Amino acid sequence: MTSLKKIAISGACIVLLSGASIVWWVHREKAIEWKKLSDAASETRVRAEQGDAGAQASLAHIYSHGQGVAQDHVEAVRWYRKAADQGNALGEDGLAFMYSHGQGLPQDYAQAVRWYRKAADQGDAKGEDGLAFMYFRGQGVPQDYAEAVRWDRKGADQGYARSQYNLGNMYYYGQGVPQDRAEAERWYHKAADQGDEYARRALGLKGPGLSGLGAITLSAMFLGCLWALKDSLSLQPSVRHQQPRALTMGGACGLAYVGLSVYGAFGSFPSVLVVNAFHFFNNLVAGIAVAMFISVFGPKRAKVVLGVSGTLLIAKYLIVIAHHERTRLPTPIRGFSSINGLLIGMAVPLAIFLWVETIKRKQNQTETQ
């Protein structure tokens, strides 16, 4: 006990020292970063006070986000206005944003539209995107989806990722333009190629996270799979040998599905092809888990499930053939990949199980005769 106590104390000391070192390192890095931002803010202030409109807009951004200085929306508005009064598009766009969100001054949608329009008339993509948003929401102007599309397209044609994503949304939902999912996917791809997180989520390249219900469901599945594996994890060989292999495989596949689902919810993928392959494999694992659990209950239930899954698999392919144009789009393809994986994962193991059971039954009949 004494040696164990010494080991425990030594381990605790190591953990505390490591934790203190990490905290000190993080604090030091933040201090260095803040010093760099503070120096940059001071340099920007010098140029801003000399009347440089670009520096004034930059200084306003620094105050708005608290980068190297204490966050101060009122001061941000003051510098945005100085830049905007000189016709600087970034200043006009920033001032419009402050008006639209009521930061540093009373919220005023009409003023936001006025300044967004000034920036947009100069061809500023952010201004065009902001003006499109105001038309989309009907803030400061009558709601007009067609006008929102017109300004979003101007920003999108300049390569502005947010406008490309918004234009994709307009096509996806048919707002201001005829609904066109293919065109929506095209604009989503353009925005995603620039790293836009919302576009990546729309294409499935980035997981959407877990909802409360999703987290509860996966937690319940995780606990259920652990329960199914409880005998397999026993230290007693006699207990482990009593565990049906199908139940062990089902529990292991279930845990794999939970792990993959968590990654799918929070991970990132390099391409739509990889996303589709991932969803196919994840649901294939889920299908195998379901098949293993069903086989524990005997051949009769396995036959029923095999028949249903086989029928659904055939029906799915008929749907794909009938709607081949729509299934070229990434979103439907992903859905079909998931269904495909689930049904194949269920059908193949059940077919093998029933085939083995048939051979065993014939052997028993032969031995009996």
Tell me which residue of 139, 205, 198 sits closest to 172, measured CA to CA: 198
Residue 82 resides in a domain: yes
Domain count, the chain: 2
Please indicate, yes or no, whether residues 275 and 326 belong to a single structural domain of this protein: yes
Same domain membership, residue 283 and residue 217: yes
Whether 348 is in a domain gets the answer yes
pLDDT given for residue 1 in this prediction: 46
Q: Please give the pLDDT value at position 273.
A: 75
Q: Please state, in angstroms and as integers, the Cα–Cα distance from residue 354 to each residue in 313, 315, 351, following that order.
A: 18, 23, 5
Same domain, 198 and 244: no
Question: Which CATH number belongs to the domain containing residue 199 in this structure?
Answer: 1.25.40.10
Residue 7 located in a structural domain: no
Q: Which domain holds residue 268?
A: 212-363
Let me know if residue 240 belongs to a domain: yes
Structure tokens at 299: 């051949």
DSSP label at 69?
S
- In the prediction, which pLDDT does 14 show? 76
- Residue where a domain stops, chosen among 203, 235, 264: 203
Q: Report d(CA 25, CA 31) in Å as an integer.
A: 10
Instruction: Give pLDDT < 70 ranges for the chain.
Output: 1-8, 10-11, 231-244, 298-303, 305-306, 309-310, 312-335, 367-369
> Is the same domain home to 44 and 190?
yes
pTM over 0.85: no
